[in-house]
Amino acid sequence: MSAAQSLSSYLLISAALFSIGVFGLLSRRNLVAILISLELILNSASLNFVAFNKFSLVDKALGQVFAIFIIALAAAEVCIGLSLILLLHRKKDSINVDEARELRG
């Protein structure tokens, strides 16, 4: 069976995407970059859904539907995230995540 037709290769790709996303999430200071990393993570999830839709069928189209949901949610998330970033930029004149630490104990 070719690699393109095996579930585990897709899961592996998704895992790699997810890990890269987490890496970016943890290492970057720029809020936009963090948002970008989040997109990667979401993508890894939707990739998983679609892969399971194909190889481990529960319902004929359920995985795709969820992938659509994820895309929609990603849009909403970016929407809110970007406006928050803009707000922060306006307030602090910076989009560095380390600057936003008013809630420290």
Binders in 11-40 for other proteins, by CB under 8 A: 11-13, 15-30, 32-33, 35-37, 39-40
Residue 100 Rama label (left phi>0; alpha psi -120 to 50; beta): beta
Helix (H), strand (E) at residue 86: helix 62-92
| Residues in region 37-96 near other proteins by CB under 8 A | 37, 39-40, 43, 46-47, 50-51, 53-57, 59-65, 67-69, 71-80, 82-87, 89-90, 95
CB count in 10 Å sphere of residue 17:
18
